Amino acid sequence: MLKDYLKAGYPALCILTQEPHRAEQVLPCDGWRFFIWDCIRGIRETETGKITEEIRDPVQAIQSLNSNIDTVLIAHNLHLFLDVPEVIQAIQNGIPLWKSRGCSLVMVSPVIQLRPEVEKFFHVIELALPDDEELFKLQTDIGNPLNIKPNRKAARAAKGLTEFEAETAYALSLIRNGYFSTRTISEAKSQIIKKSGLMEFWEPEDISNVGGLQNLKSYIQRRATAFSPVNTVLPQLKGILLVGIPGTGKSLASKATASILGWPLIRLDIGALKGSLVGQSELRMRQATSLIDAFGKCVVWIDEIEKAFSGTRSSGETDGGTVASMFGYFLTWMNDTRSQVLVMATANNISQLPPELLRAGRFDATFFVDLPVKSEREEIIKIMNKKHNSSIPLSFTERLNGYTGAEIEQLAKDSLYDGLDEAYNNLVPLSRTMREEIQSLREWAKNRARLANTPEEEPEESRKIRTI
């Protein structure tokens, strides 16, 4: 991957990777001598690993290039020494000499940490993570001595892992299961998210625990086929926005979507990404989306998205434009990402959402989640009776008209302590306390959103016949 840059005479390169040992294997190419330096072992040859010079000082290591021709020095963690003036000066002094002698300094680093004094000299190259074929070959290498067949599906599940992480995940799978298990590899893969500290895993909700919302369920189930590995025609979902009354099951439906697709569920808390330092919030947003892309095949749940991105227009006056910058990058990522990722966002107050988020094409669909209709209330009562071992009779369905699913669940829990009638009398539904807001939300949704609920069955009309 370096040959073209070395032919062009690039004297300084920065390889971005979390896999320093893999970089040693893939970077060498014909026509140049390659050496490796680190601050513990000194300088050694790439092919034999033999230490040629015990130079641990970074300045001396950099200067060793000055007396060579067509030589490349791969320097590990050199970015940690860029605050040392002598290191900066050694690089500046060496650049014109290396260019004339066909030499190059290759800095291997997990992050871009270039000082302004040398920033213009370095060309940054990102070492891609192992692809499907490389991960499948790694399986073959591990499984052949044990007569265990490789698994293409498990190789795809490992995408986003480094070679080291994939190898350890495969080994764990063989120890636990005796074969390459997709589930075990996915569990090991979850370490990517956990170690980042930027997001958190949630357990997907079983679709049977979601009462009603049949239109939304059917919409997702029909489009789940687009995520099949053999699909090359159907467009894949990128995002669904659920707008509606608090307590109607928007978050629950988001969790259940992960179980429909059979994907992990990752909760992205935009507010938790905000930092106190200048540029820290934007950096965390970029890191979070990069991790999601690397993880792949997951449902990203953003709860109450209006609170995270409200006030983007006045952001420059209150926070130096931080929220607006995070919002802009998030929209760009949603539009451009090629990873198999489905964003499920919920919102209670539609008036606080930036108009850019609602324009056509941003989300594949916007669903309005209304108060449950009669058939949905019956379904929710059955679910809550089973979940909490309560005994709300189905005859209560009519009395619970105007109650949300969350309120019916609260009724089920309170009835275990206070009795059904007392619990019912003490529970005041949102449909009474927020009547005007709910009506306004319904008016907004009429021509702007799909209805997630099952339509209310209209009573059959009967004609009265008068007999004489």
42-45 and 51-53 as β-strands: parallel, antiparallel, unpaired?
antiparallel
pLDDT digits (tens, 9 = 90+) for 363-379: 899 999 999 999 999 99
Domains of the chain: 3-126 (3.40.50.300), 132-189 (1.10.8), 197-457 (3.40.50.300)
Q: Which two tokens stand for residue 167?
A: 């190898």
pLDDT value of residue 79: 93
pLDDT digits (tens, 9 = 90+) for 321-354: 678 888 888 888 888 888 889 999 999 888 788 7
Count of CB atoms situated within 10 Å of the CB of 160: 21
Q: Is the pLDDT of residue 314 over 80?
A: no
169: confidence class by pLDDT, cuts 50, 70, 90: very high
pLDDT value of residue 260: 92
Buried b (16+ CB within 10 A) or exposed e, 179-205: ebbbebbbbbbeebbeebebbeebebb
35: confidence class by pLDDT, cuts 50, 70, 90: very high
134: confidence class by pLDDT, cuts 50, 70, 90: very high
Q: In which residue are the tokens 């599906």 written? A: 153
Average pLDDT in the 35-47 region?
Answer: 93
Q: Is the pLDDT of residue 1 over 50?
A: yes
pLDDT value of residue 345: 93
Contact 390, 415 (CB under 8 A): yes
298-302 and 265-267 as β-strands: parallel, antiparallel, unpaired?
parallel
pLDDT value of residue 132: 85
Average pLDDT in the 73-93 region?
Answer: 95
Average pLDDT in the 150-176 region?
Answer: 90
Q: In which residue are the tokens 């980042």 written? A: 196
Q: Is the pLDDT of residue 319 over 70?
A: no
Contact 301, 255 (CB under 8 A): yes
Contact 211, 383 (CB under 8 A): yes
Percentage with pLDDT > 70 across the chain: 94
By mean pLDDT, which of 26-40, 137-151, 192-206 is the weakest? Answer: 192-206
Q: In which residue are the tokens 């439906």 written? A: 253
pLDDT value of residue 465: 46
pLDDT value of residue 464: 45
Give the global pTM: 0.77
